[in-house]
Structure 1
Amino acid sequence: MTADALLTVRGLVAGYGAAPVLHAVDLTVAPGTIVAVVGANGAGKTTLLRTLSGMLRPSDGQVTLAGEDLRGVAVEQLVRRGMAHVPEGRGVVAELTVDENLRLGGLWRRDRADATRALDEVYQLFPPLANRRRHLGHQLSGGERQMLALGRALVGRPRLLLLDEPSLGLAPRVVAQIMALLRRLRDDTGLTVLLVEQNVRSALRIADQGVVMALGRVVTTAPAARLRDDAELRHAYLGF
């Protein structure tokens, strides 16, 4: 493991059934950084997050979080160790209120006083949720549902946030708000974020490091600013 890494992935192979999607993926995420994983549809980005969060079991490779080997660790234990996953599609429980959805994120925590403080902090981060705390999930706008999914993850006070396509289906103004919030969380709280995002420009604008994937492999890793400025690489793998 790299000495200053929070998350280290080595030789990760995973997929669905007998068909591998990820091929010997290597990845390192330093604490207190945003790492953007970008690439075309079908590159394996979502499969990567699902494997890291325990939704898929890898067939080979190693994943460590703060030096702890995560092989065979159950999903609920990954959450307790500080990993939170906000999947594509937001995952809000439509029949529950905003407040009930948020409280789900802290049910496992033993420190009830701090869980309450975390809930209050989420309402401060997302004023629209505070104004609609008694509304049901299905009554929220797309942007509000994304805020709710993020907020539920943050109530658990994760060390590492895995975030899949937070901009999907949202208006540009809301996308800008979400990206600004991620940068603020990194700067103010030291949250580490592994961000999968089709909106490459927005992702690389806030990220410290960029990882480009193609056909289930990492093809390059570089500072996000360098990826933004490398026209040849953008044209070859990112389509702009």
Structure 2
Amino acid sequence: MSALLEVEGLTAGYGAAAVLHDVSLSVRTKQIVAVLGANGAGKTTLLRALSGLLPAERGRVVFDGLDLRGVKVERMVRHGIAHVPEGRGVVTELTVDENLRLGSLWRKPRPSNDGIYELFPALARRRDHLGHQLSGGERQMLAIGRALAAEPRLLLLDEPSLGLAPKITAQIMALLRDLRDRTGLAVLLVEQNVRSALSVADEGLVLSLGRVVSRNDAATLAGDADLRHAYLGF
């Protein structure tokens, strides 16, 4: 099966300081690829470069035949890419329902939020609450739900478990697996919780100092004790 997202030789950073060095990866439809590594490895920078928030210095990024170099973020969303950044970014002055409607703003006719509420029953019970009234877990659900409201084919998801209780993390990971199997959603998952990420991922790649040091199927990475001890901390 051909790749939905193909990245070749990506180099990117901030100003004169390159953070990513010659990174290559691919993600197919109906596949979860976990991006793993220590703090400072370049994981968040990778997602920012792929979603157009950070310009690439060199390399090639192609999504479903579209060369993403210089493409505006709005066009990426229309083409089927959604990015959930680290930090549960929601508009705290808007209600849950209004936040979700932001995600589908460009779709005509605009779909209802019923499908998102089916995925996240906790949000359905809080639909009229403002963003600042939600718990951390509810905010993360809302951030993911808003991205899914755009009906993406590729979800870029940055640290969804950060600061959450294990039960909520397990629910989010189970949802990603279900969406992959049921809808064909592709996911590029940045995650510090290595065990949790590898439990749902099909493949994983390990970054160290902005370079890919390993890529393999999730089970092989989880079973490689030397790699885990050297780069993943367990």
User: TM-score of the superposition, structure 1-length normalised?
Assistant: 0.96
Aligned equivalent of 1:235, options 221, 229, 234: 229
The aligned runs of 1:55-94 (5 Å cut-off) are 55-94=53-92
- 1:206 paired to 2:200: yes
Matched to 1:100, the amino acid is E
- 1:124 paired to 2:125: no
Aligned equivalent of 1:42, options 36, 40, 43: 40
Aligned equivalent of 1:185, options 176, 179, 201: 179
* Superposition CA RMSD, Å: 0.7
% identical equivalent positions: 71
What is the distance in 2 between the residues matched to 1:102 and 1:199? 27
Tell me by how many angstroms 1:68 deviates. 1.4
What is the distance in 2 between the residues matched to 1:184 and 1:111? 26
What is the distance in 2 between the residues matched to 1:227 and 1:239? 13
Q: Deviations over 1:21-42 (max 9, x none)?
A: 0001001111110000000000
- 1:171 paired to 2:165: yes
Structure 2 counterpart of 1:99:
97
Structure 2 counterpart of 1:148:
142
- 1:197 paired to 2:191: yes
Q: Which runs of 4+ in 1 moved over 4 A?
A: none
Structure 2 counterpart of 1:22:
20
Structure 1 counterpart of 2:212:
218
Matched to 2:115, the amino acid is E
- Of residues 193-202 and 102-111 in structure 1, the stretch that sits farther from structure 2 once superposed is 102-111
Tell me by how many angstroms 1:205 deviates. 0.6
Task: Name the SS of the counterpart of 1:210 in structure 2.
Answer: strand
Matched to 1:31, the amino acid is T
What is the distance in 1 between the residues matched to 2:232 and 2:105? 40
Tell me by how many angstroms 1:111 deviates. 2.9
Give the aligned length: 234
What is the distance in 2 between the residues matched to 1:161 and 1:111? 22
Matched to 1:109, the amino acid is R
Matched to 1:223, the amino acid is D
Task: Name the SS of the counterpart of 2:221 in structure 1.
Answer: helix
- Of residues 158-167 and 172-181 in structure 1, the stretch that sits farther from structure 2 once superposed is 172-181
Task: Name the SS of the counterpart of 2:56 in structure 1.
Answer: coil
Task: Name the SS of the counterpart of 2:174 in structure 1.
Answer: helix
